[in-house]
Amino acid sequence: MTDTRYLVHGVFWDGPPASTPADDAGGPVLRLQSPEGDFRELSLRAGSRLGFKVVEPGRFCLGHVQVQSAGSRRHILCGSAAPALRGKQCERCFVLDESRLMHDFHRGGRVTPGLRDYLMQEHWLYVATFAGGATKVGTASGPRKWNRLAEQGAAVARYVARAEDGRVVRVLEDLVTAGVGLTQQVRSAAKAEALLRPLPAGAVDEANSRAAGDVRALLARTAVDGFQAVEEQWLRPAHADALYGSASRHAYPHALDQGRHGFSIAALGGANALARLDGTDAEFVVNLSQLAARTVVLGEYASEVPAVQEALF
């Protein structure tokens, strides 16, 4: 067991996309920052075990991003290891973070040369539906076309347009929100809650197909140039499938802002794990996004099983 304190940066899906539904694609990991500033990645594939204790109260700044080009970005660590005041950042790192500027680029907002290079590459517009039926519109750069949806934790998704750059795709995204009514964000807590009682797979696919059709109909009427409508389905990673089945599961009974935790991962979708606790056959949905910006020590820890298991059923 190690006493090294790690700052959690979150769950990332940086591996290659699946080529067939049977592929174990994506290589999901929990990314951790050591006190020296280097990074360690823990596999979150099905069958892996995660054990840790939270050792500091509150959240701490994860630093900021410099975008150098379409294919290169640099993560700058917070120089003062300050408490996080703006989401997962201190005030200074929030102001310096170049990635936040991309959301106003299509409205004439200023961007750095590196961020402009990133935004001028091909982008995709997608429609994603989650386990409870909530549906959103979103965008992804060409190189992260698949990974973006894996990190979102979509149950079903379809690409509806390929845009020549990031300005055009964000104009389209705003048009879809105004014209079709699709939101651009679904809260992580809502995604986790929906996994406790997921809708049947057919119902989720039907909701997504219907929304994607509405979006394509809107795009067919728009005067915006610089994009091509497409009909392409996103391929969900196979090791996420168990999260979207009909088996009984329960909300994880412990807050991730304190205490000791340890469980085996049966499946992972986005940042939500289907976990098995030692000493019970019950399965639990753990929202690992709640760990981001917290300080942990890794070890052979185990989550306490609820004293009255009957209350779970």
Q: How many helical (H) and strand (E) elements, i.e. helices and strands, does the chain have? A: 6, 15
Name the DSSP letter for residue 237: -
Q: What pLDDT, on the 0 to 100 scale, is given for residue 280? A: 92
Higher pLDDT among residues 105 and 236, named by residue: 236
Name the DSSP letter for residue 2: -
Residue 285 has pLDDT above 80, yes or no: yes
The model's confidence at residue 98, banded by pLDDT at 50, 70 and 90, is confident
Residue 264 has pLDDT above 90, yes or no: yes
What's the Cα-to-Cα distance from 177 to each of 109, 137, 218, rounded to whole Å? Answer: 20, 7, 11
Q: What pLDDT, on the 0 to 100 scale, is given for residue 22? A: 46
Spatial separation of the C-alpha atoms in residues 18 and 37, rounded to whole Å:
32
Look at strands 250-251 and 283-287 and give their pairing.
Answer: parallel
pLDDT tens column, 204-220: 999 999 999 999 999 99
Instruction: Specify whether the CB–CB gap between 44 and 268 falls below 8 A.
Output: yes
Mean pLDDT, the chain, rounded, equals 90
pLDDT tens column, 146-168: 999 999 999 999 999 999 999 99
Q: What pLDDT, on the 0 to 100 scale, is given for residue 108? A: 58
Structure tokens at 149: 């949806």
Residues of the chain with pLDDT > 70: what percent? 90
Mean pLDDT value across residues 108-126: 82
- Among 67-76, 81-90, 116-125, name the one with the lowest average pLDDT: 67-76
Q: What pLDDT, on the 0 to 100 scale, is given for residue 248? A: 81
Closest Cα partner for 207 from 132, 124, 125, 126? 132
Q: What pLDDT, on the 0 to 100 scale, is given for residue 106? A: 66
Spatial separation of the C-alpha atoms in residues 147 and 153, rounded to whole Å:
10
H helices of the chain, in order, are 91-96, 113-119, 145-152, 166-179, 188-194, 201-221
Instruction: Specify whether the CB–CB gap between 293 and 88 falls below 8 A.
Output: yes
Residue 79 has pLDDT above 90, yes or no: no
Higher pLDDT among residues 143 and 216, named by residue: 216
Q: Please list the helix, strand and coil fractions of the chain in percent, rounded to the nearest 5, in that order.
A: 30, 30, 40
- Among 17-26, 168-177, 236-245, name the one with the lowest average pLDDT: 17-26
Residue with tokens 């509150």: 58
Give me the phi and psi of 311, to 5 degrees please.
-70, -15
Which sign does the torsion angle of CA 53, 58, 63, 65 carry? positive
pLDDT tens column, 33-49: 999 999 999 999 999 99
The model scores a pTM over 0.85 = yes
Could you give the 3-state DSSP secondary structure of residue 94?
helix
Higher pLDDT among residues 284 and 101, named by residue: 284
Mean pLDDT value across residues 220-238: 95
The model's confidence at residue 26, banded by pLDDT at 50, 70 and 90, is low
